[in-house]
Structure 1
Amino acid sequence: MGENSAGPRIAGQTSPQDAGQQSIALFFIPGAEPQLYAIDNWDPLAAAGVISRGIIAEIDGELTVASPLYKHHFRLRDGICLEDDSVQLGSYRVAFDGDTVLVAGAEKF
């Protein structure tokens, strides 16, 4: 497991991680393998917690979420931005335990 980074910043702006909080976007995609994904909700390019409101799409065989603000795509499996691979969201191991979703620590690939 790696250290979670909020990514690029604009001077004077902070992310939820700065305040000791963590906002995670969960995606349940029936029929996909795996069906459950978790990545940071904080979009470092837009400096906003909006990833959970993005649109899911398959691009070149990869499940992605498009940020609703600038429309850049992040892979659900590892959080890498398709338009700029130097930008990466934290990704989390997730699993169902009955009706509960279990989330493990952040990973950087």
Structure 2
Amino acid sequence: MGLPVLVVDDSTLARRLLINALPEAWDVEISQAANGTDAVTAYREGRASVMFLDLTMPGMTGFDVLETVRSEGLDSFIIVVSADIQPEAKARVKALGAVAFIDKPISSAKLLPVLKEYGLYE
């Protein structure tokens, strides 16, 4: 069984683009969530050793997900993938425990160095 990876975005297209940007040889088991509530559920079920998280979603935002995961122990590598590139947003996600912030649109060129930096992919 591969590494549990969760892709969280309210946009089906954005989730598909992110999944397509993942390295083909990476041994992962991918789950998807279209909102923050489903993301937290998947996290609690152990399906998010690595989580790619959008910030702007209706209902429970990415910030809310980060706060919840942090309050429950934060044992997931959370990489925020968002179009919200304001310095305040980047600082806030780091303070809440995200390991990295990748600007949308996602690409393999942006994603691979982050995965390598954290030892998630060689």
TM-score relative to the length of structure 2: 0.27
Higher strand proportion (structure 1 or 2)? 1
TM-score relative to the length of structure 1: 0.29
